[in-house]
């Protein structure tokens, strides 16, 4: 596709359930980021994938959070045993080359997660 695609756009779940969020980056982009954004707040880094390198998981808030990426393609963010504090918008972004001179991020529209 032309841009970064995320699905679902909205997800309502019950506390304790697992959820899986999907991100399709722009074709050819080697770098992929997941961010969390709570209402009225800035971007909170979660995890970053760069090509075939080991992902940077330093932003994952707990072991309930995990993410995978298939090659330089689709990524899924999984939240197990969801809690109410997990409610937020989850944004995915991709970039052609993280160490390029000025490589900007292209963001998806996000998944609004609501945990009841």
Residues in contact with other proteins by CB under 8 A are 33, 41-43, 45, 48, 56, 91, 98-99, 101-102, 104-110
Closer to other proteins by Cβ: residue 35 or 65: 35
Closer to other proteins by Cβ: residue 14 or 104: 104
9 CB contacts (<8 Å, ≥6 apart)? 109, 110, 111, 112
CB of 110 to other proteins, least distance (A): 6
Two structure tokens written together for 54: 């080991």
Residue in this structure with the two tokens 């999984």, named with its chain if needed: 78
CB of 40 to other proteins, least distance (A): 8
Closer to other proteins by Cβ: residue 18 or 41: 41
Closer to other proteins by Cβ: residue 52 or 99: 99
Q: How far is CA 34 from the centre of its chain?
A: 3
Asked if 5 contacts 107 with a C-beta cutoff of 8 angstroms, the reply is no
CB of 80 to other proteins, least distance (A): 26
b/e map 59-95, b = 16+ CB within 10 Å: ebeeeebebebeebeebebebeebeeebbbbbbbbbb
CB of 66 to other proteins, least distance (A): 20
């Amino acid at each position: 596709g032309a841009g970064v695609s995320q699905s679902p756009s909205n997800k309502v779940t019950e506390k304790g359930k697992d959820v899986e969020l999907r991100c399709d980056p722009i074709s050819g982009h080697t770098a992929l980021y997941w961010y969390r954004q709570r209402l009225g707040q800035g971007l909170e880094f979660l995890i970053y994938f760069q090509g075939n390198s080991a992902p940077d998981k330093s932003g994952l808030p707990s072991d309930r959070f995990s993410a995978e990426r298939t090659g330089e393609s689709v990524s899924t963010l999984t939240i197990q045993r969801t809690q109410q504090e997990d409610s937020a918008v989850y944004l995915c972004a991709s970039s052609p080359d993280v160490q390029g001179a000025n490589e900007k991020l292209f963001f998806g529209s996000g998944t609004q997660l609501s945990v009841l």
